[in-house]
Amino acid sequence: MADTSWPDCAKSFRGVVLDMCGVLYESGEGDGVAIPGAAEAVRRLRASDLQLRFCTNETQASREEFVAKLRRLGFEISVSEVFSPAPAAVSVLRGRGLRPHLLVYDGVLPEFDGVDKTNPNCVVIGDAAEKFSYQNLNEAFRVLIGLDKPVLFSLGQGRYYKETDGLKLDVGVYMKALEYACDLEAEVIGKPSPMFFQSVLTDMGLQPHEALMIGDDLVNDVGGAQHCGMKGVQVRTGKYRPSDERHPTVTADGTVDDLAQAVDVILNQRGH
C-alpha cells in the first residue's frame, strides 16, 4: 500500500502545480525579485518525469505580459503552462453564452479580446484597483440589478494584498459589496475554486491524487488544492506566516522553507 503522507507520497506524483507570486518571486517595485533557488528548482522539475503547470490568481496582466516578466526574472515558462482566472472566465462565458460587463484592470483586458461584450448579461470583476471608483462600481451594479437573473463572476476572492507602498484592497472586497447590493452570490473563478484546480488537472490528464500543489497561501493554494483531492505543500516564502502552521481549518500536507527545498524532497524521494 502506498504511503499517503508527505514526503513519502512524493513517489506517486505524476504532476506538480506551482503558485507563482510568493513561490517563484516576491512582488515589489517593477518586476519584483526572484526567490533564491526558485529558477533552478523549476529547471530541475522540468528535467524530471513530472508534468509541470503554473497556477496564479494574477488578474492585473495578460498571461503574455505576466510570462514575459517571469522570463526576465530567469524562469523558463511558456504561456500555455500558466492557468489564471481571466482565460478560465472566458471559457466559462463562452460555454454559457454570456456577454460580460467587465470591471477589471486594463492590463488584463486583452484576455477578453475575442469575447462579445455587447448588451451584457453578466458582470465580471477582477482586481481593478484604482478602477474601483464609485462610478464604475455603480455601473456594474446597475447592469446586475437590471438583469432578470443577475450573474456575477469574481476573479478570485482575496481580501487584500501587500505592495511596496502598503496594503491594497483586493477583488473579494468588491465582490462582497456587489453581493450585498444585489442580494446574490458571486461565482468565484480562480483559486480556491475546485473548478479552477480541476481545469489544471484535466490539462495534465491526471487524477487529483497524482498531483501536488505548492503555494505560499495556506487557504487559497493549499486548502483549495486539498479540497479538490490534491496534496498541498506550503512554502515559508511570500505571504506565509508562522501562524499558518496552527491554522484552525487548513493543515498543509507538508511545510518547507522554499521551492528549492520542496523540489529537493520530491526528487530525492523519487530517487533522482
Binding site for its own copies (CB under 8 A): 128-135, 137-138, 141-142, 145, 159-160, 166-169, 172-174, 176-181, 183
Residue 190 Cβ vs its own copies, minimum distance, rounded to whole Å: 16
Q: Give the nearer residue to its own copies in terms of CB position, either 71 or 142.
A: 142
- Lookup: cell for 35: 526567490
Q: How far apart are CA 149 and CA 182, in angstroms?
A: 11
Strand intervals (E) in 88-158: 100-103, 122-125, 152-155
Q: Give the nearer residue to its own copies in terms of CB position, either 52 or 129.
A: 129
Q: How far apart are CA 45 and CA 91, in angstroms?
A: 29
Residue 182 Cβ vs its own copies, minimum distance, rounded to whole Å: 8
Residue 128 Cβ vs its own copies, minimum distance, rounded to whole Å: 8
CB of 18 within 8 A of CB of 42? yes
Q: Give the nearer residue to its own copies in terms of CB position, either 170 or 210.
A: 170
Q: How far apart are CA 155 and CA 132, in angstroms?
A: 14
Residue 186 Cβ vs its own copies, minimum distance, rounded to whole Å: 12
Residue 237 Cβ vs its own copies, minimum distance, rounded to whole Å: 22
Query: Residue length, the chain?
Result: 272
Q: Give the nearer residue to its own copies in terms of CB position, either 40 or 187.
A: 187
Residue 26 Cβ vs its own copies, minimum distance, rounded to whole Å: 21
Q: Give the nearer residue to its own copies in terms of CB position, either 33 or 145.
A: 145
Q: Give the nearer residue to its own copies in terms of CB position, either 144 or 214.
A: 144
- DSSP reduced 3-state for 186: coil
Strand intervals (E) in the chain: 15-18, 25-26, 33-34, 51-55, 82-83, 100-103, 122-125, 152-155, 160-163, 166-169, 187-189, 211-215, 231-235, 254-256
Q: Give the nearer residue to its own copies in terms of CB position, either 128 or 189.
A: 128
Residue 86 Cβ vs its own copies, minimum distance, rounded to whole Å: 20
- Lookup: cell for 79: 504561456
Kindly write down the DSSP assignment for every residue of 16-52, as one continuous string. Answer: EEE--BTTTEE--STT-EEPTTHHHHHHHHHHSSSEE
